[in-house]
Structure 1
Amino acid sequence: MTTNRSPAGSSRRLVASTLVLLPSLAIAACAPRADRGMTLAPGKLRIGTYFVNPPFEYVVDGRRIGFEVDLMNDLARRLALAPEFVDTRWETILQEMQEGRYDCIVGGITITPQRERTLAWSTPYMTTTLSLVIDVRRSPRIRDIADLRTALVGVQAATTDYDIAVAMKARGEIGSIKVYPFAEIGQAMVDLAAGRITAVMKVHPVAAWLARRTPGLRIVAQVPNDPQPLGIGLAKSNAALLAAINGALADLRQDGTYDRLSRKWDAV
């Protein structure tokens, strides 16, 4: 996992450095860095995401929860900003960020060279892998990627999962691909358990979370040589917010917050 560490307390100094020196400390404390144009609205961090991506972000009993929800809440607090989550769709979120609708976006998004051409990205808060899930009751002989040469593999549309599956199919490593809309990864697991597909490929924390909830589903292998660095996307023009977020990420790693959240959500 690659991180860009900065001295402890750097994000707090970023916020403190913007305070106007007024006689009243109470007034000064209400002037976060956002008041200097770092965010779309003073005092707020507008975050684009989609709540269909457990354990990163999802909805239970009307509550928005998940590893990245807690992560972004903590980052916003360190920057003296109020987090505001905006629910959108994977199919549009990258373009919407380019259009300036959010201060940042998050959602288990892999940093790729193509995405770096259009958006700025934080240092990765997690580097994970793609996992292949099978139903061990229906496919007891599948024990590794080498056993998937004739398999029908389910992936989400317009993701790195899809891109890598296409490359694997071209190399003869898998048989064929079934593409699901991003929000229907749960349906892929239903199809897997019903025997309509042979495997599902998904970034590890999501694959593990979903597999644990269906009897018989197991991760059989990790895709080699394709690490998935996950980051927070921002406008290329917003260097100040990027630096502030990277500083806060470094702080929460150093003080143990990141490890605590990872354990809470079983996100590693």
Structure 2
Amino acid sequence: MLRRRGFIGQSGVAMLASAARADQPPRTLKPGVLRIGTYFVNPPFEFVSNHKRVGFEVDLMREISLRLDLRANFIDTRWQLLLNEMQQSRYDCAIGGITITPRRQQILGWSVPYMTTTLSLVVDGRRTPATATLADLKMATVGVQAATTDYDAAVAMKRSGRIGKVAVYPFARIADAISDLVAGRIGAVMKVYPVASWLARTTPGLRILGQVPDDPQPLGIGFNLKNAQLLAAVNHVLGDMRADGSYDGLVRRWHLA
């Protein structure tokens, strides 16, 4: 059975509950507004459907903003720019299925993980036998997005001989990787589980082969290091949402359970 993801558990709730609610409204770039940097090319986290911005993280940030008495204002940018722009305080916070890593913790503050997931490999079920495992990818080319933890994991797997080659795609062109997978030009595509599951569900013939072992992906909301007050306020709201069941409601709505 695939270990799909781990959401905020009891230990996480305790950590969140320990964050004190500030006496004053959290400081934001524009009073009354929470500017959120992201990119709408990352389903089911955030994407455009019927000309509307939707997704699990869109709903999550709208609920957080509401509970902080702020209006959510999503600013569409590119993955390649987002973290640097967040350092420059162009946004109050940044979200986008972003894995918290030691290197990223050096440049930004991070909420407690609102989800801990895995890296999964999507294959074409018509070409890959049902009995295949990750061990059968030794000669395969695996598609990943540039400058991601997916890329880092794939490079490490190539160096250890667990996959054959790494094909790198621009972040916003994941559809190209899926097209190449369906056409047989690559053997698999690696993404965090929610995205991998979405791709497998929405493209006929695709399925998840398995997950990269021993490589958990804690996802968080990024903040400027100088705005600890806003970070603490968001952590408090995340704890409230977990405690009152509204977080789990979003998980069910977006079929992440």
TMscore range, shorter length: over 0.9
Aligned residue identity for 2:256: A
Please list the CA deviations of residues 53-73 of structure 1 after superposition, one character each: whole Å capped at 9, or x if unmatched: 000000011100000000000
Q: 2: distance between equivalents of 1:143 and 1:241? A: 47
The answer as to whether partners of 1:186 and 1:210 remain within 8 angstroms in 2 is no
TM-score normalised by length of structure 2? 0.93
Q: Does 1:85 align with 2:74?
A: yes
Shift of 1:208: 0.4
Q: 2: distance between equivalents of 1:225 and 1:189? A: 25
Q: 1: distance between equivalents of 2:131 and 2:112? A: 36
Q: 1: distance between equivalents of 2:130 and 2:239? A: 44
Residue in 2 that maps onto 1:179:
168
Q: 2: distance between equivalents of 1:249 and 1:206? A: 22
Residue in 1 that maps onto 2:217:
228
1:70-81 aligned within 5 A: 70-81=59-70
1:131-142 aligned within 5 A: 131-140=120-129
Aligned-pair identity in percent equals 61
1:96-107 aligned within 5 A: 96-107=85-96
Of 155, 170, 175, 1:166 maps to: 155
Q: Which runs of 5+ in 1 are unaligned?
A: 19-32
TM-score normalised by length of structure 1? 0.89
Of 130, 142, 150, 1:153 maps to: 142
Structure 2 counterpart SS, 1:83? strand
Aligned residue identity for 1:178: A
Aligned residue identity for 1:42: P
Q: 1: distance between equivalents of 2:187 and 2:177? A: 10
> In the comparison of the two structures, how many residue pairs are matched?
247
Please list the CA deviations of residues 226-252 of structure 1 after superposition, one character each: whole Å capped at 9, or x if unmatched: 000000000011110010000000000
Q: Does 1:61 align with 2:50?
A: yes
Q: Does 1:128 align with 2:132?
A: no
Q: 1: distance between equivalents of 2:75 and 2:81? A: 13
Q: Does 1:144 align with 2:96?
A: no
Q: Which runs of 5+ in 2 are unaligned?
A: 1-5
The answer as to whether partners of 1:155 and 1:177 remain within 8 angstroms in 2 is yes
Residue in 1 that maps onto 2:3:
none
Structure 1 counterpart SS, 2:60? helix
Residue in 1 that maps onto 2:41:
52
Q: Does 1:212 align with 2:201?
A: yes
Please list the CA deviations of residues 34-60 of structure 1 after superposition, one character each: whole Å capped at 9, or x if unmatched: 4xxx11010110000000000000001
| Max Rg structure | 1
Q: 1: distance between equivalents of 2:175 and 2:98? A: 18
